[in-house]
Structure 1
Amino acid sequence: MSEEAKLREDICTLAKSMFDRGLTCGASGNISARLSDGTLLVTPTGRAMGFLDPARLSHLDEEGRLISGDAATKEVPLHTAFYDTRTGTGAVVHLHSTHSVALSMLPEINPDNVLPPLTPYSIMRLGKVKLLPFFLPGDPNMGDAVRGLAGRRSAVLLANHGPVVAGKDLWAAVFAMEELEETAKLALLTRGCRPRALTADQVAAVVRDFDVRW
C-alpha cells in the first residue's frame, strides 16, 4: 500500500473512531495530514467524520489548491497556520468535543493555559493550551491568531467552538486531542471539589524528563 493510500485509510479509521465515541458529532470536526511531498489530505466540507470515503478526501497542493477529491473543509486556513509555523507538524485535528468546548466558556480558566495540571499526560502530549477568542466558523482570522503564536503552541482552544491540535503525525495528533478532551472532562468533573493537582515541582519534573516545550 502506498503512503497516500495508507494515510487516506488512517484518516478515515481514526475519524470514525472519534465519531463513534462521541468526540465529534454531525458534520463537525476536520482532520488534515501532510504527505512526504508536502501536499495535504483533508477531510471534506459538510461530511460526517464517521462516514468518510478514503477516495473522496480532499487532496490539496502546497498552496492549498484542490488537486482531487471533494471540496475541503472551510477551516483549511486554521490547519495551514500550524504547518507554516510549527516545524515538524505532520497532522492537525480540530473537533467540537463537548467537554473542551464547555471548558472554553468558563470565566475562571487561565487563557494562557486552559488545562489544569491534573495528570502528567496532558502536559506530556500538549504542553500549554492557549485559549483563543471567538471567531465565526471559517473565519481566516483563526489562522492568523495561530500564526501569531509563532509555533510556540501545539494546541489551542477556540472559545465557544473547540480544540485544535497539531502533532508530528496523524496518530500523535489524535492521541493528543483525546488527552485534551479527557483532561477537560476531568476539570469539569472535579470543578468545585478542590482536587489535588500536580504541584509546581511535579509539573517541572514532567516538563524536564519528557522534554516538553513549556
Structure 2
Amino acid sequence: MNPALREAAEQLCAAGRRAVGLGMSPGASGNVSARVDGLTLMSPTGVPLDGLEPGGLSVVDRDGGLVSGPPPSKELPLHRSMYERLPEAAAVVHLHSPHATAASCLPPWSAGSALPPITPYLVMRVGRAPLVPYSAPGSAGLADNLTALPGRFRAALLANHGSLMAAGSPAAALEGAVELEEASRIVVSLHGREYSVLAPEDVKELTERYGTTWDV
C-alpha cells in the first residue's frame, strides 16, 4: 500500500472507531469509504466500524471492481453515486445513528431538505440534506434514487434507513454526520410542536460565509 493509500486507510479506520465510540454505528451497521488516486478504500461487508484495520479494507477501482482485500460493503453503489455527485469529495460516511434514522422516517421538511434549517450549525457545517426515497439497502435502486435528486448537496437522509455525508476527509465526513445527528435529534424531539427555523436571509448569510448550500 503506497503512503497516500496508507494514510487514507488509517484516517478511515480512525473515523470508524470514533463513530462507534459516539454510539452512531450500532452492531456491524454503517460503512465508510475514502477515495485516493482513482481508488476507493471501503469498509468490508460485515465488519463493525471499530474493527477496521488499514490492511483489511476493500480496495476498488473506478469501475467498482475489487482490486484487493475482502468484498466491500453492499453499499458501494451508494458511495459511488455520492462521489459522482461531488467530484471534490474524498470520503463518504453512511451511518444508522438513532436520531438521523428516526428523522428519516418522518415526512421531509421540504422537497429540498429532510431537515429544516433548525440551527446555524446544521447550515454552516452540513447544508441542506434531502430525503432519498426508500429502496432496499445495497440496491442499485437506492444509488439511482440518490443520483436522481436535483440540486447541490453533500449530505442526505435515506428514507427509513440512516444518514449519508461526504466531505474532504474521513474526519470531516464524520463531523458532518455528527452535526446531522444532532440536528435530527432536535427535530425529532420537537416533532408535533411549533418551532422556529432560521430566516432565509440568515441561511443565505451562513451558506455564503461557510461554503455550504441550501439552494433548493
The two structures have a TM-score, normalised by structure 2, of: 0.91
Contact 1:15/1:49, CA 8 A, preserved across alignment: yes
The correspondence of residues 182-197 of structure 1 with structure 2, limited to 5 A, is 182-197=182-197
2:25 paired with 1:33: no
Contact 2:132/2:149, CA 8 A, preserved across alignment: no
* Aligned twin of 2:57: 57
* Aligned twin of 1:175: 175
Whole-Å Cα distance in 2 between the matches of residues 103 and 111 of structure 1? Answer: 15
Whole-Å Cα distance in 1 between the matches of residues 35 and 178 of structure 2? Answer: 20
Q: 3-state SS of the aligned residue for 1:33?
A: strand
Q: 1:107 to 1:115 in 2, by over 3 A?
A: closer
Q: 3-state SS of the aligned residue for 2:101?
A: helix
- Deviations 1:47-68 (CA, angstroms, capped at 9, x unpaired): 1111112211001112111111
The correspondence of residues 91-106 of structure 1 with structure 2, limited to 5 A, is 91-106=91-106
Q: 1:10 to 1:151 in 2, by over 3 A?
A: farther
Whole-Å Cα distance in 2 between the matches of residues 197 and 17 of structure 1? Answer: 30
- Deviations 1:157-192 (CA, angstroms, capped at 9, x unpaired): 111101111112222211111110111011122334
Whole-Å Cα distance in 2 between the matches of residues 181 and 116 of structure 1? Answer: 13
Whole-Å Cα distance in 1 between the matches of residues 80 and 136 of structure 2? Answer: 18
Q: Which amino acid aligns with 2:4?
A: E
Deviation of 1:115 after TM superposition, in Å, equals 1.5
Contact 1:86/1:150, CA 8 A, preserved across alignment: no
* Aligned twin of 2:73: 73
Deviation of 1:149 after TM superposition, in Å, equals 3.0
* Aligned twin of 1:156: 156
Whole-Å Cα distance in 2 between the matches of residues 42 and 157 of structure 1? Answer: 20
- Deviations 1:108-160 (CA, angstroms, capped at 9, x unpaired): 63342112222112112222111011111111111112222367221111111
Deviation of 1:213 after TM superposition, in Å, equals 2.5
- Deviations 1:20-59 (CA, angstroms, capped at 9, x unpaired): 2210111110001001x21010000011111112211001
Deviation of 1:85 after TM superposition, in Å, equals 2.5
Deviation of 1:12 after TM superposition, in Å, equals 1.1
Over the matched positions of the two proteins, sequence identity in percent amounts to: 37
Q: 3-state SS of the aligned residue for 1:67?
A: strand
Deviation of 1:82 after TM superposition, in Å, equals 1.5
Structure 2's unaligned 5+ residue stretches are none
* Aligned twin of 1:88: 88
Q: 3-state SS of the aligned residue for 2:32?
A: strand
Contact 1:86/1:151, CA 8 A, preserved across alignment: no
Contact 1:82/1:151, CA 8 A, preserved across alignment: no
Structure 1's unaligned 5+ residue stretches are none
Deviation of 1:17 after TM superposition, in Å, equals 0.9
Contact 1:111/1:132, CA 8 A, preserved across alignment: no
